[in-house]
């Protein structure tokens, strides 16, 4: 297991903490933990977990469940965000990924932590402002958003951090909407929840920011 711990926040004020998961069975399952205190996201830990190719399916699922359970127990996130199964995958691969997502959701439920799923397009729209952003653009946006000196490695961990940022952005947007509803006349503000694809970047022409460490 590759893990990159980051010093925990030295603050008494607990912000919104999210554990993001990029599920995989044949490759590495990435994870990333962020916390929003005020308007700035801060990185707590990221890494990836890969089992030997000779491990059985049951053993892989067990180890992934154990990993998620230990992360939830150690960092007590307010939510677990996991990327949904990519619809363009073949059926065999999609079924395997669904099994991985199942043990992730189980680990969250056992700890009574809300779990949320986001499609790859929703994650890209939320983090990069563009649903067809490339993997490199997403990595650069994650690096910039978290104020890092270099792109998080491995790539699976960067993907997990993007999922965590997606959920945090969505949650904060919905909180702002709820505040607006509370102070606005009845019926003016819709009660529908915001999804990442509905969040537009401030500058439509700027679809991705290139970060140079």
- Residues taking part in catalysis: 22, 83, 156
| Rg (the chain; Cα; Å) | 17
- The residue whose two tokens read 């650069």 is 140
Find out whether 156 and 24 touch, Cβ atoms under 8 Å: yes
Q: How far does the chain reach from its first CA to its final CA, in angstroms?
A: 26
Residues 28 and 21: their CA atoms lie apart, in Å, by 11
Annotate 22-86 with DSSP letters as a single string: E--SSS-EEEEEEEEETTEEEEEEEEEE---TTS-HHHHHHHHHHHHHHHHHHH--SEEEEEPPP
Residue 165's alpha-carbon distances to 65, 66, 159, in angstroms, are 22, 23, 10
**β-pair type (2-5, 40-49):** antiparallel
Q: Is residue 58 within 8 Å of residue 16, measured between CB atoms?
A: no
């Amino acid at each position: 297991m590759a893990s990159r711990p980051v010093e925990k926040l030295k603050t008494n004020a607990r912000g919104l903490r999210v554990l993001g998961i990029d599920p995989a069975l044949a490759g590495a399952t990435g994870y990333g933990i962020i916390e929003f205190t005020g308007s700035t996201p801060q990185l707590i830990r990221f890494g990836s977990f890969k089992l030997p190719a000779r491990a059985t399916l049951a053993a892989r699922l067990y180890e992934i469940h154990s990993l998620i359970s230990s992360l939830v127990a150690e960092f007590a996130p307010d939510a677990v965000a996991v990327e949904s199964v990519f619809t363009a995958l073949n059926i065999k691969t999609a079924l395997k990924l669904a099994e991985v997502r199942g043990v992730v959701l189980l680990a969250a439920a056992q700890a009574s932590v809300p779990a949320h799923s986001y499609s790859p397009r929703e994650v890209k729209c939320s983090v990069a402002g563009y649903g067809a952003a490339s993997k490199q653009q997403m990595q650069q946006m994650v690096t910039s958003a978290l104020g890092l000196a270099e792109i998080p490695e491995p790539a699976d961990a960067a993907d997990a951090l993007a999922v965590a940022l997606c959920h945090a952005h969505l949650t904060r947007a919905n909180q702002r909407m709820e505040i607006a509803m509370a102070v606005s006349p009845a019926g003016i503000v819709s009660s529908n929840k915001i999804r990442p694809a509905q969040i537009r970047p401030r500058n439509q022409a700027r679809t991705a920011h290139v970060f140079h460490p």
